[in-house]
Copies of this chain bind each other. A is one copy, B any other.
Amino acid sequence: MPRPAKHHPERGDARTRLLEAARDVIRAKGFAATSVDDLCKAAGVSKGAFFHHFETKEALGVAAAAYWAETTSAFFANAPYHRLDDPLDRLFGYVEFRKTIIDGDPAEFTCLVGTMTQEVYGSHPAIRDACAASIFGHAATLEPDIAAAMAARGIEADWTPASLARHTQAVLQGAFILAKATGGREDALDSVDHLKRYLTLLFSQPRSKGNTHDGR
């Protein structure tokens, strides 16, 4: 039985399909509850193919986290808010963009690496590290705008751009948990609104000199 093969491209077809299946199924069921057979069925691939591309299930977890980091960073890099001139506007644009993503089922808008981190941080350090790299790498992309916004407004703070960037991720991850708990999006959106309000207050609260500017 000759099967259609197309294997010169660097990344095989089955591998990508497995990674996409992992992204979807693990977000819905969690890493531990997702069996290799689940993944193979979702990807339309045999078990032999799975272990051809990934040494172990753990290795797939690591690759899935890396794939997530790749695809999401491209996704955010192409988002429209980057075209805004003011750094602070871009920061608010990011948060607003995150809000627009929160739609549909939690399995569709929540964070793969956040979910996996919480589940496997103790038992699969390799996956945990790959997830951490994704989370903190994404947070780091916010730092330049935060730093520029602070500089533009002469803000002297007892917090760093890095800590605020990571805090935004904490709020988002926590919002996802609330959304999963209720099954709805409202509490998550409310929490992101609180984050927006925090940013508004932070950047309209001159610590050093009285600078009067528009609140937004």
Contact = CB atoms under 8 A, between A and B. Distances in A.
Interface of A: 28-33, 106-107, 114-115, 117-123, 128, 131-132, 135-136, 159, 163-164, 166-167, 169-178, 180-183, 187-188, 190-191, 193-194, 196-198, 200-202, 204-205, 212-216
A123 B38 CA distance: 14
Contacts of A117: 177, 180-181
20 contacts: A30-B32, A106-B122, A115-B118, A118-B180, A128-B180, A132-B181, A136-B181, A163-B187, A167-B191, A169-B178, A170-B177, A170-B191, A193-B215, A197-B213, A198-B198, A198-B201, A204-B212, A204-B213, A212-B215, A213-B216
Given A122-B29, A170-B177, A182 B215 contact: no
Given A122-B28, A214-B216, A215-B193, A170 B181 contact: no
Given A164-B194, A201-B205, A215-B193, A131 B170 contact: no
A200 B213 contact: yes
**DSSP class of A's interface residues: helix, strand, loop or mixed?**
helix
A167 B181 contact: no
B114 A177 contact: yes
Scoring A29, A119, A196 by chain B CB atoms within 10 A of each residue's CB, the highest score goes to A119
Given A30-B32, A178-B170, A191-B170, A119 B119 contact: yes
B194 A119 contact: no
Given A166-B190, A190-B163, A194-B159, A33 B174 contact: no
A194 B190 contact: no
Contacts of A191: 163, 166-167, 170-171
A177 B118 contact: yes
Scoring A106, A114, A121 by chain B CB atoms within 10 A of each residue's CB, the highest score goes to A121
Given A166-B191, A172-B174, A30 B119 contact: yes
Contacts of A107: 122
Contact of A197 (B159, B180, B194): B159
Nearest to A106: B121
